[in-house]
Amino acid sequence: MNKQSYYRSNVPDVRYRPMDISDFDAVMTLWRNTEGIIVRSSDNRKEIESYLIRNPDLSFVAEFNDTLIGTVMCGHDGRRGYLQHLAITRKYRTYGIGRELVRLALNGLRDCGIRKCHLFVLRDNTSALDFWHHIGWHERTDLVMMSTHLSVE
């Protein structure tokens, strides 16, 4: 799929397309202005570009009048998919834009042969938790997420 491939929304004039590194500045602006999204040092241009190259046509943006209003990042490790940074500009929420971005990402994972997808939500992000529950995702209580930082020598 190339950058000129667009998807039509059930909301007039909203277009969906694969995310490209040229979207980086607009994506960062949206993420920084969306409650519940934490922008970390790894959300830099170089690492986002690497992620998009490694996971082609799995991350998407939504645009209205040539303005970026939604994003979802998606990738996989060969076995499991992962959704990250689903963000919709506040005034465009409840129109199905988030649901459509998720649908596109999950279809991309299916096309790659991936049959299960995970995501992480901050515990206090109740609006995100409500959204994910509403569209059929369930919370795992049998796992504890753990992380470590790798130093670059």
Domain assignment present for 139 = no
Q: Are 42 and 51 in contact (CB under 8 A)?
A: no
Domain assignment present for 14 = yes
Q: For the residues 35-47, what does the mean pLDDT come to?
A: 94
Domain assignment present for 142 = no
Domain assignment present for 121 = yes
Looking at residue 149, what is its pLDDT?
A: 78
Look up the domain containing 30 and give its range.
Answer: 7-134
- Exposed, middle or buried: residue 40 (CB in 10 Å: 0-12, 13-18, 19+)? exposed
Domain assignment present for 31 = yes
Looking at residue 3, what is its pLDDT?
A: 40
Distance between CA 148 and CA 136 in Å, rounded? 30
Structure confidence by residue, pLDDT tens digits, 95-108: 999 999 999 999 99
Looking at the structure of the chain, the number of domains it has is 1
Domain assignment present for 42 = yes
Domain assignment present for 67 = yes
Domain assignment present for 146 = no
CATH number at residue 34: 3.40.630.30
Looking at residue 4, what is its pLDDT?
A: 40
Residue 90: pLDDT over 50? yes
* Whole-prediction pTM: 0.87
